[in-house]
Structure 1
Amino acid sequence: MGLTSNKVLALAALLAVAFFAVTVWLWPRLARRTAGAVLGRIGLLLGVQLALFAAVGLAANNYFLFYGSWADLLGREQTPGVVVDHSAGAPGAVRVLATRRTDVPGGGRPEEAGRIQQVVVSGKKSGISSPAYVYLPPEYFRPGYARKTFPAAVVLTGYPGTAENLLKGLKYPRTAHEQVARGAMRPMILVMLRPTVAPPRDTECVDVPDGPRTETFFAEDLPGAVSSAYRVGTRARNWGFIGNSTGGYCALKIALHHPERYAAGAGLSAYYRAAEDVTTGDLFGGDRRARDRANLLWSLEHLPQGRSSFLVTTSEKGEGNLRGTREFIRKVRAPARVSSITLESGGHNFTTWNREIPPALVWLSGRLSAA
């Protein structure tokens, strides 16, 4: 059973309850002051504490997906990277490593539930290779759509999240499937990954001097590679970007600076200025212009705005980006457009983002079209 299995969580919870019941039952018998009784009480208390800690830890990991497997938890995940060769001039490549079912009814039939492919995307210009998941909707496998293209959206987690968060915790494929089924949005391909393309460093989706060229990867390599591997168009109107927290900042940043590549960017609980701390290191090499450009509010004020559409989310209580979001909205000007979701209350967490993802996907679908 895997680390994130519900059976493992249920077993841990049952063990915690069992240890508690045994402690209550045996405690009167161990009330004496003998060495054996004292050791017995210590053992029972430790057993209850460890069982409770394991259950709570597994529940938290299942929700936030800090670790994806036992090997990941124990530091034994040593699988080497995948080397992909490219021909000269190629925009990049997508290599499929595995295929998995979607968490919807009829998951065994791709024409009913779609498919999720575990891939490695390699970029020629940036030199970056990153693991990702690609969700292909059911329509992609139906004969009536065999010659049709689909819009696509890049979906990013926050830092230092894992791409698994987007499948299990935030349920992007399932939500997209449900929204298409109810007629609220068009079928769309989702390219899901984390912004940490050079782990463990947080590059804030910028091209770091003498370092990872993360902006180039997301703005040029990724859409080029995916369009060459799947039935996705290459124009801006075919591509959108969505993410939460750091991923939300990246979505807005890439859409703002590259309207020729992305028609829309949605930032859920996004911030608006690149973080600079021990996880990022020196992102700009003393280049003030580059630092200013990574400040989205500065960019809106001082740089030309293209035809991209933006969606920003916040809440009146619980989010720290309320003021920045309002300022972002004020600074957007034509031909760009901006929309927003403001919750009455909601923190910086999965519960809040799961409330925002359905309308955000519907909004994104309305800004994109097939080739």
Structure 2
Amino acid sequence: MGLTSKTFLVLAIVLAVVFFAATVWLWPRLARRSVSAVLGRVGLLLATQVTVFVSVGLVANNSFLFYGSWADLFGQKQDLGVVTDHAAGTLASKNIVRVGTQRPDVPGASRPTMAGRIDKVVIAGRRSKIESSAYVYLPPEYFQPAFAHRKFPAVVVLTGYPGVSENLLKSLRYPRTAHERVKAGRAQPMILVMLRPTVAPPRDTECVDIKDGPQTETYLAEDLPRVISESYRVGGLARNWGIIGNSTGGYCALKIGLHHPDRFAASVGLSAYYKAAEDPTTGDLFHGDQSARDRADLMWSLDHMPKQPDSSFLVTTSRRGEGNYRATRQFMAKVKPPAQVSSIVLDSGGHNFNTWRREIPSALDWLSSRLSEN
């Protein structure tokens, strides 16, 4: 029974109700001072509290998908051994393996020409030596004869930390939203490459290249676009690529867009922060290298770059509910031509999936307007 299954959730809630009712019903009988009565009361209270705690935890997890499976919850490694197997699933590049496909949550899901397709892949970085799984959403047009020779713009989509890539499909609904925006005539068809920035779990690398450690920035900024362009009909120029993320993923998107304008023309930070976190989850990111620490500070970079890139940035915040409102205003003020900055500022909205779902449709429209297919 899966961690996120509705059956398991219902079972936990039913057990919580049963134990609560049993506690109320049996309490008078257990009011005696005997050892058995005391143990009975302790047992009922413990069972009730545990089942209530599990039920609340499952509701929260099903809403926000902190953990996508039992293996994820208990920190077990996943997707082992798939890269050297499944030769038939290998795409054009030897650095990517398709390990599965699934249907997008849109009408006509059984037909790729109507709904598109989602590939689950494992991407190996040539330079970074990092290997990570991702989901690649291919729009319906990708499979239609009229677009057989067309290259599509692509967008890298990042979760927050720790995050699971399934969040991007189930809770943030990127494929469905992209499909709806195209149908509404608000966006062009785009390929979405969805993954979490935690490519060296459980460490939060803040998407930087760590000395003698994970080269996360190289993986996301160089390896991933190159492999995807070799394997799918995606252009290899900056104007063909965008990047978007929420929270930690938003910081990563803005940082990679700022420092790699030759790879990405447009970057979106949903509820982003603007300086690399340094805490127990990150470990020592910079090993005393102040220049590397400064480079990971977007405000410092904007102030000290010889020339800001000819790139576009979109940042989002809320006047009430977000902690990044003031910093976002400061970031916007520091962006100078030829760079361009746009914003989505909600009256209220917390640091959560509901807020980001309100921003993603407009963010995808914005990305679409700044990317080209060739």
TM bucket by the smaller chain? over 0.9
Deviation at 1:34, TM superposition (A): 4.8
- Bigger mean CA offset, 317-326 vs 275-284: 275-284
Secondary structure at the aligned position of 1:344 is classed as strand
CA contact (8 A) 2:83 2:97 kept: no
Q: Distance in 2 between matches of 1:108 and 1:17?
A: 40
Correspondence for 2:169? 167
- Write the deviation string for residues 39-96 of structure 1: whole angstroms up to 9, x where unpaired: 43333322221221111111122123222222333445465354569xxxx9872210
Q: Partner amino acid for 1:80?
A: L
Q: Which of 279, 287, 290 is 2:289 aligned to?
A: 287
Residue 72 (structure 2) pairs with residue 72 (structure 1): yes
Q: Label 1:41 to 1:4 Cα distance change in 2 as closer, same or farther (>3 A).
A: same
The size of the alignment, in residue pairs, is 367
After superposition, where does 1:115-154 map in structure 2 within 5 Å? Answer: 115-154=117-156
Q: Is the 8 A contact 1:276 1:282 kept in 2?
A: yes
Q: Which amino acid aligns with 1:346?
A: G
Contact persistence 1:243–1:249 (CA under 8 A): yes
Match of 1:344? 347
The residue type equivalent to 1:288 in the other structure is Q
Q: Answer yes or no: is the 8 Å Cα contact 1:93–1:229 preserved in 2.
A: no
Query: Quick one: which amino acid aligns to residue 262 of structure 2?
Result: E
Does structure 1 residue 324 correspond to structure 2 residue 327? yes
Displacement of 1:294 after TM fit? 1.2
Pair 128,324 (structure 1): closer, same or farther in 2 beyond 3 Å = same
- CA shift, 1:338, in A, is 0.5
Cα distance in structure 1, aligned partners of 2:14 and 2:144? 44
Alignment of 1:7-22 (within 5 A): 7-22=7-22
- Report the Cα distance in structure 2 between the residues aligned to 1:287 and 1:34, rounded to whole angstroms: 66
Deviations 1:100-138 (A, max 9, x none): 122222222222222111111111122111111111112
Cα distance, 1:321 vs structure 2: 1.1
Deviates more, 1:251-260 or 1:283-292: 283-292
C-alpha separation in 2, matches of 1:213 and 1:185: 33
1:49 to 2:49 alignment: yes
Please tell me whether the aligned partners of residues 310 and 338 of structure 1 are also in contact (alpha carbons under 8 angstroms).
yes
Seq. identity, %: 68
Give the C-alpha shift of residue 331 in structure 1: 0.8
The separation in 2 between residues aligned to 1:107 and 1:5, in whole angstroms, is: 21
* Pick aligned residue for 1:218 from 217, 220, 227: 220
Contact 1:92 1:123 in 2 (8 A): no
Aligned to 1:249: 251
Cα drift, residue 341 of structure 1: 0.9
Separation in structure 2 between the aligned mates of residue 40 and residue 268 of structure 1, nearest angstrom: 51
* Structure 1 unaligned blocks of 5 or more: none
Matched residue SS, 1:316: strand
The letter for the 2-side match of 1:47 is A
1:354 paired to 2:343: no
Superposition deviation, residue 293 in structure 1 = 1.4
